[in-house]
Amino acid sequence: MTTRTLIKNLAASTDGPISVSGWVETVRDQKKVQFVVLRDESGAVQLVHPRLFNEDKTPAEDPIADEISSLSQGSFLTVSGELKHDERVKLGGVEIKVESIDVASRAIPETPIADDSGVDKRMDWRFLDLRVPKNALIFKIQTTLEHAWRTYWVENDFIELHTPKLMASASESKAELFEVDYFDGKAYLAQSPQFFKQMAQPAGFGKIFEVGPAFRADPSFTSRHATEFTSVDSEISWIDSHEDVMKLHEELLVAGFQAVKDKHGAEILALWDVEVTVPTVPFPRIPLAEAKRIVAERGYEVPRADDDMDPEGERQIAAYVKETFGHEFVFLTDYASSIRPFYHMRHADDAALTNSYDLIFNGVEISTGAQREHRVDVLIEQAKDKGLEPEELDFYLDFFRYGVPPHGGFGMGLSRVLMLMLHLPNLREATYLFRGPTRLLP
């Protein structure tokens, strides 16, 4: 493997021989001296090469100068030379005087995207788009966020699962289901790991988590929808109500946001002018019926025929919470059973309501959570109420026929969290390779 020094470590290195590798960001090919800005995954450094001249001041033979003159933006190379600290150098206070260049790969000189390219064009050339430090930082933040969540889970004795994404039947709604040929039959892409994360409860796992792909055949072209996304799921046993799930959920988010703020807060502020706020606990909790009343008092009537909240209602209640509590998060609780899945537990004293919630972050729903119905006889009746045939759910109902603890959990969209944390305009920016109704490439 090539021995190289990461550019971010140059400032702490002593003057002298050094080797760095990366791609060419800019070339300034001047008459007496040449400058190259070389970037790697950690930062950028200025390379300098004074041109060689004969005693009569005519250009001398200078292979390094010829090589630099031929470099195109995006070419990948390794440079060896002399590191020198110089506070006059604006880029990091160091520069490297070039002694040798080894070009690994030359780029086509004309790049297909520019600083002012639209998001669709940038997505066509995503690998070039991600060379931009601001865009690459999103996925360093994602790594920190997921690592903090995993640390929380592992330190609290959760077990990680990897559930199948090919299923024999729908896990959520048949309306948003991708069907695929499966040998002599049909299979479906998992809309969520719902059934399988619940299966871990009668298996005696206690507390589980999964970070993995989910698929929704949703033809929406909004800024917050995708046909494939990364779902962050957790499920826990021995709960008293959905309040226990909300407590887990907010603690997990606090751990993630604190880690992001500690490691990337200054960069986020510099690049996006966004102050990462670590949320205080407990998050505000508002029953959905009360939230709709508050929204109505703000002058907005939710124009839905069902009992759900709509996107504008979510924005309105988020604005109210920000104004009233100074908080970016709010749990909307106690959703109507008419708009919740059959496996959500209903209120003991009002079957029209469920022990469930949606979590709203900066005006957008990022998660649904609930206490699950674990009593098989009740579960069967609730499935019938939804027009489902219990026989079609037999494999799922078997989970509850051999003993199961009270349990609950949530599913959360990773890219939505990143989008809203960084105040990005759409989900595509926060997704490594976006998938939507008209995008399957790259």
Please report, in range form, the residues annotated as the binding site for ATP: 365, 413-416
**Checking DSSP bridges between strand 356-361 and strand 364-371, what pairing results, if any?**
antiparallel
| Dihedral sign, Cα of residue 237, residue 243, residue 246, residue 252 | negative
CB 189 within 8 A of CB 165: yes
> Virtual CA dihedral for 367, 371, 372, 376, nearest 10 degrees?
-170
- CA–chain centroid gap for 293, Å, is 33
Q: Which amino acid is at 163?
A: T
Burial of 224 (0-12, 13-18, 19+ CB in 10 A): middle
Report how far residue 161's alpha carbon sits from residue 155's, in angstroms, rounded to the nearest whole number: 16
What DSSP assignment string belongs to 309-370? --HHHHHHHHHHHHHHH--SEEEEE--BGGGS-TTBPBPSS-TTBBSEEEEEETTEEEEEEE
Annotation: binding site for L-aspartate: 172, 216, 368, 372
Integer angstrom CA distances of residue 122 from 128, 429, 433:
8, 10, 11
Query: Residue 395: CB partners within 8 Å, gap ≥ 6?
Result: 168
CA neighbor of 82 nearest in space, from 34, 38, 19: 19
Q: Token pair of 102, please? A: 């080894």
CB 251 within 8 A of CB 153: no
CB 81 within 8 A of CB 35: no
Strand order in the sheet with 207-215: 159-160, 207-215, 228-237, 407-413, 364-371, 356-361, 329-333, 285-287
Query: Residue 139: CB partners within 8 Å, gap ≥ 6?
Result: 130, 432
Q: Token pair of 170, please? A: 């729908």
CA neighbor of 252 nearest in space, from 269, 265, 234: 234
b/e map of 27-52 (b: 16 or more CB within 10 Å)? beeeeeebbbbbbbebbbbbbbbebe
Annotation: binding site: 172, 216, 365, 368, 372, 413-416
With both helix axes pointing from N to C terminus, report the angle between 288-297 and 311-325 in degrees, rounded to the nearest 10: 80
